[in-house]
Amino acid sequence: MKRLTRIILTASLFLILGSGAYAGRDGKPITPYGDYCSRFNHYGMHRERLDQDQIRKALYHYYKSKGLNIMLINTQGRFIKAHIMNGKRVVDTIIFDRYTGRIRSIY
């Protein structure tokens, strides 16, 4: 009996720890891992550093197709922090590398 209980508890623990966690709705990630904005290529090449308005436009166009809005939080330095909003609800928090165009979820 003790062995059966131990097996059941171990299996339950593996199932709980093995399940994925996703920010957003329906278990689908809002921002795929290591995605890039449309102004950059997949090698992260761009001629110059983007300013705040260019970043806002690039992120707006990236998330517009998903029906989401953006709210820039921190615009100082190389990395820009932004909340991804569905209405008034935050569904993801991202950082945007203004040199390479890489978008990473940090939610």
Task: Say if CB 73 and CB 81 are below 8 A apart.
Answer: yes
pLDDT per residue of the chain (107 residues) written in tens, 0 to 9: 778 888 887 877 666 765 554 444 555 666 666 666 665 555 555 566 778 888 888 889 888 888 899 999 988 888 899 999 998 999 989 998 888 778 888 87
Q: For residue 12, give both structure tokens.
A: 């339950």
Query: Domain locations in the chain?
Result: 22-105
**Residue closest to 58 by CA, chosen among 30, 92, 98:** 98
For residue 83, what are the contacts with CB-CB under 8 A and spacing of at least 6? 70, 71, 73, 90, 92, 93
Q: What is the pLDDT of residue 85?
A: 92
